[in-house]
Amino acid sequence: MSDSVKDMKEFLSKIVTTGSLIPDFKVIATLKYLSIDEVDESVLEALTREGLLVRRITDVAIACSKCGSLSISTKYVCPACSSVSIVKSRLIQHIDCGYVGSEVSFLRSNSGALKCPKCGREVAEERLIVYATFFECLSCHFRTSSPNVIHKCHNCENIFKPADASLRPIYLYELSDKGRELLKQ
């Protein structure tokens, strides 16, 4: 048995023992400040209110409207059936036989090249005309250039639309003149 077959068998045997290989996709977003390790946001708020710090927005993060977490992932969903099983596809034509269709309708050869569903030949990228790029739903085959957007909070599992998102400004803080004066005293 060759080493690569041995490796494959070893890997597959791990899946046999657990029954399946379950993905655990997690987004963990954190907000830190350079140069100070632990920063209490309420202290920053207070110092800004006192006029000792001035702040300006440098970025805006999407936050969960339920728990405030920044650990948010974004998904595209089908506007017709709300499925998240969508792929990016293209409307392409095989120049040699004239077939026009979605890239999803093309087969893939073992080498990964596209195979024309009409003439069965492998299609090199140069033998294609690309008419459009779009998203195609794998459930209902609806095509769109602008899928709906949903967010998922990886802290509390809340799934929400952009209209229900909280937007959290990310500030850069600087000492104000008043703050500098205070340090001189």
Binding site for Zn ion (CB under 5 A): 64, 66-67, 69, 78, 80-81, 83, 94, 97, 99, 116, 118-119, 137, 139-140, 142, 153, 155-156, 158
Minimum distance, C-beta of residue 141 to Zn ion, in the bound complex (Å): 7
| Cβ nearer to Zn ion, comparing 51 with 68 | 68
* 8 φ/ψ sector (left φ>0, alpha ψ -120 to 50, else beta): alpha
- Order of strands across the sheet with 143-144? 100-102, 86-94, 128-137, 143-144
User: Closer CB to Zn ion, residue 99 or residue 173?
Assistant: 99
Structure tokens at 120: 């069965």
CB of 80 to Zn ion, least distance (A): 5
Please, which residue, 112 or 120, has the CB nearer to Zn ion? 120
> Does residue 72 contact residue 27 with C-beta atoms inside 8 Å?
yes
Please report where in the chains the tokens 């948010």 appear, as a residue.
72
CB of 155 to Zn ion, least distance (A): 5
Q: Reading across the β-sheet that carries 72-77, which strands appear in turn?
A: 72-77, 148-153, 159-160
Between 76 and 173, CB nearer to Zn ion: 76
Minimum distance from residue 45 beta carbon to Zn ion (Å): 22
